[in-house]
Amino acid sequence: MKSTLDPRHQKRVKKFKKLFAYSFGADNFTKKESPKLFLIIDKLSEIDNYIQGAAPDWPVERLNKVDLAILRLSVYELLIEKKTPPKVVIDEAVELGKRYGSESTAKFVNGVLGTLIKKREKEKDSK
């Protein structure tokens, strides 16, 4: 059974919070202090392109900052890092959305990540 005390979950929450804070100003962060955060930040352009492709009706710059931070972390884990099973990443993202987002965050995040997974599977099948 999943627990909010799980160390992996706690690490994800910390990364999410740092990404959320980063969206308000990059001046407070340095690579030396937050090297793992910068693994994600260095890929933001690529990550945002994935998000935009999966949610074309929602420009990245207009997304709620909580939703965007959750999506950026999840897309990084799903498509760039690729260490965690997709089902786990999506489940964690939905849980973050329920805890920190608006009433619609969990559903929105689930839809975007589901679309990304489907697109990725289609690309694999077409090769």
State the pLDDT at residue 120: 86
State the pLDDT at residue 2: 61
Of 116, 127, 117, 126, nearest to 53 by C-alpha is 116
Of 72, 73, 48, nearest to 61 by C-alpha is 48
31 or 127: which carries more pLDDT confidence?
31
Contacts with 115 (C-beta within 8 Å, 6 or more apart), sequence order: 54, 55
pTM: 0.92
21-35 residue pLDDT tens = 999 887 777 888 788
pLDDT band at 64 (very low <50, low <70, confident <90, very high): very high
The CATH fold assigned to 7-125 is N-utilizing Substance Protein B Homolog; Chain A (1.10.940)
State the pLDDT at residue 82: 94
Kindly state the tokens that stand for 11. Answer: 């690490």
74-122 residue pLDDT tens = 999 999 999 999 999 999 999 999 999 999 999 999 999 999 999 888 8
Average the pLDDT over 35-59 and give the result: 94
